[in-house]
């Protein structure tokens, strides 16, 4: 199914990273009445300069290096891949907005299938890469589509348009 997460949903982390983020939220909430705190919950974002061990830079680097094949996990999962400039703009606006003592998604509610990312890169690079699905990269019980609601975020700040993922991929592919 498709999951659009909003800030009112109770987080249920499934790994140590998620548990540490939730613990941080609980600790921070103890200081809501002392400090002006906005807890941000960023969804996936990417851009020029991100390390190659992250998914999108890995894909882009394979195309930049004209590799014939790439190993990935489940190609049918859809996730948000927001542009770093969009995330920076949101953070800046949240820093100067009136809202305090809340948690807010840094999201676009626009999931993209991994297979569609590959198709976009095939077009951008002008060749078709062979994709091999590595069973070690496929997660059990993975949610097919996962994105974040922007309802609260849009009520707090003026959301500028996020670059299309295609534009972000083009920028990353053609970066020096």
Residues with active-site annotation:
17
Beta strand pairing call for 78-79 and 145-148: parallel
For residue 67, what are the contacts with CB-CB under 8 A and spacing of at least 6? 129
Q: Is residue 112 classed as helix, strand or coil in its secondary structure? A: strand
Whether the CB-CB separation of 117 and 77 falls below 8 Å is answered with no
Nearest-CA neighbor of 106 among 51, 156, 165?
Answer: 156
Q: What is the DSSP string of 33-57?
A: TTS--EEEEE--EE-TT--TTSHHH
Whether the CB-CB separation of 153 and 106 falls below 8 Å is answered with yes
Q: Is residue 144 classed as helix, strand or coil in its secondary structure? A: coil
Helix (H) or strand (E) holding 89: helix 84-96
**For 114, phi and psi rounded to 5 degrees?**
-60, -40
């Amino acid at each position: 199914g498709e999951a659009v997460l909003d800030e009112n949903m109770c987080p249920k982390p499934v790994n140590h990273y998620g548990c540490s983020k939730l613990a941080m939220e609980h600790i921070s909430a103890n200081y809501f009445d002392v400090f002006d705190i906005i807890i941000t919950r960023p969804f996936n974002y990417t851009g020029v300069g991100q390390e190659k061990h992250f998914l999108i830079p890995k894909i882009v680097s394979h195309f930049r290096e004209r590799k014939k094949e790439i190993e990935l996990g489940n190609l049918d999962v859809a996730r948000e891949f927001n542009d770093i400039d969009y995330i920076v703009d949101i953070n800046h606006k949240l820093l100067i907005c009136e809202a305090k003592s809340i948690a807010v998604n840094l999201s676009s509610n626009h999931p993209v299938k991994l297979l569609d990312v590959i198709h976009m890169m095939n077009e951008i690079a002008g060749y078709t890469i062979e994709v091999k699905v590595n069973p070690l990269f496929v997660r059990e019980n993975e949610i097919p589509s996962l994105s974040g609601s922007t309802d609260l975020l849009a009520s707090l700040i003026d959301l500028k348009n996020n670059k299309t993922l295609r534009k972000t991929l083009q920028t990353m592919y053609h970066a020096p």
